[in-house]
Amino acid sequence: MTGTPGLDLFSGPDAPSETDLYKCVHCGFCLPACPTYLLTGLEAESPRGRIALMKAVNEERIEATPDVIDHWDLCIQCRACEVACPSGVPYGKLIEATMAQVAPRRKTGMLPKLAGNLLLKQILPHQRRLGLVTGGLRMFQRTGAQALVRKTRLLKMISPNLASLADSAPTVPANTFKASGQVIPAQGPKRARVALLSGCVMPLVHGPQMDAVTRVLARNGCEVVVTREQSCCGAINSHVGDLDLARDLARQNVDAFMAEEFDAVIVASAGCGARMKEYGHLLRRDHEYADRAGALAAKVKDVHEFLAELPLLPPKGRLEARVTYQDSCHLANAQRITDAPRELLRTIPALELVEMEGATQCCGAGGTYTVTQREFSLRLLDARMEVITATGAQIVATANPGCILQLDYGARLQGAGLVVRYVTDLLDEAYRAE
């Protein structure tokens, strides 16, 4: 292999844990669960293969060349392998640590590096700056400029991937959700006082859906506090290996959510919930924050998990529709929550819930995967759309903004009128129909 200086071993406190690495006994039970292995049939694109590469780099038998890194990059970080593994290999932690080792030494062109840094460090964690960017996108869509660019096929000539990415951009709504310290009072007798994570992208592209989350919680007797001091959860930064920024964002959230007493900290996005539930691990070496980070992680509840445990006050309004549910990887695999969203959907009168084949298989939206691995992301989406269509459902429900955006793009490509909704949106609709 061609060596790349400085990329020959893992080192420092963020290196993958040897104890975790050597838990893998190469049994291969995880292979049929891995979407990239299923697509390619290649050992190097399987969890076992990727772990073998980590071990080889760790033992300095091979160098972490660009070829080796490519195999780790193709991993969606869906963590389906963790669920399938009988030896309890914490693959999520291993790949997160590996990406953190690779990130600072990655050989990327000047322009992509600048663009990546600008987006992930300077824009995404800052709600106001992100708001300006999505505001620009809204103008681009509303003024007809987007339609013109599509018509001239200009982007397609420059880069088909860029054109497909631009096509998949969601229509940005006029009303956004803002964390401004607002308190939404409980309806009826108060059953809980909760804080709500607003997030980064979700409040801007799915503002009305965030409002629906607050209505559903309030309807279930929860006082909802949306603290102004909160920040992005850091999931995307962790995904690309920027653990320093992820830790900074986690500290901000620890300060914001632990400043008051809440029964739970509710998260409506599965990816953010998975990240926050692991804040204890992320800040384990920070003496000032470690304990409070662990305490916050213990308070974090996915919205479906929380409502099912509360338990939910069943809506009386009817919703006559055939609905199928696509598990979000970060809910099903990282948080191991698969029953709660289905239980909630079953409470809606007249709603018919039908299962699709392999509902826990990834739709191809994982962190920045839709951008960095466009071809694989779309191949996975195609496979999902096929099984979703086979159910004859009019609506596909899911629990994560990334999955909503990805499936919505799939539905638009298909043009068959399939509607993609959050579970909480459907609950809200049923309550409003009462």
Smallest gap from residue 92 Cβ to ligand SF4 (A): 7
Tokens of 369: 């995967």
Closer CB to ligand SF4, 235 or 348, in the complex: 235
Tokens of 96: 């997160």
Select from 217, 430, 227 the least CA-distant residue to 314. 430
Smallest gap from residue 239 Cβ to ligand SF4 (A): 11
Smallest gap from residue 90 Cβ to ligand SF4 (A): 10
Select from 246, 255, 203, 283 the least CA-distant residue to 367. 246
Smallest gap from residue 263 Cβ to ligand SF4 (A): 33
Q: Beta-strand (E) ranges in 268-417?
A: 300-302, 321-325, 351-354, 395-398
Burial class (CB in 10 A: 0-12, 13-18, 19+), 211: middle
Closer CB to ligand SF4, 231 or 238, in the complex: 238
Closer CB to ligand SF4, 26 or 113, in the complex: 26
Alpha-carbon distance of 372 to 69, in angstroms, equals 13
Smallest gap from residue 165 Cβ to ligand SF4 (A): 21
Q: Widest CA span of the chain, in angstroms?
A: 67
Alpha-carbon distance of 393 to 21, in angstroms, equals 42
Closer CB to ligand SF4, 87 or 159, in the complex: 87
Smallest gap from residue 285 Cβ to ligand SF4 (A): 25
Burial class (CB in 10 A: 0-12, 13-18, 19+), 286: middle
Closer CB to ligand SF4, 217 or 332, in the complex: 332
Closer CB to ligand SF4, 21 or 267, in the complex: 21
Count helices and strands in the chain by DSSP H and E runs: 25, 9
> Which residues of this chain interact with ligand SF4, rule CB under 6 A?
24-30, 33-36, 47-48, 50-51, 75-81, 84-85, 87, 89, 91
Q: In what order do the strands lie in the sheet with 222-225?
A: 183-184, 222-225, 192-196, 264-267, 300-302
Closer CB to ligand SF4, 67 or 255, in the complex: 67
- Which DSSP string corresponds to 228-290? TT----SHHHHHTT-HHHHHHHHHHHHHHHHSS--SEEEESSHHHHHHHHTHHHHTTT-TTTH
Alpha-carbon distance of 31 to 251, in angstroms, equals 36
Smallest gap from residue 217 Cβ to ligand SF4 (A): 31
Closer CB to ligand SF4, 90 or 234, in the complex: 90
Smallest gap from residue 416 Cβ to ligand SF4 (A): 28
Closer CB to ligand SF4, 246 or 293, in the complex: 246
Coil, strand, or helix at residue 422?
strand
Coil, strand, or helix at residue 195?
strand
Smallest gap from residue 162 Cβ to ligand SF4 (A): 24
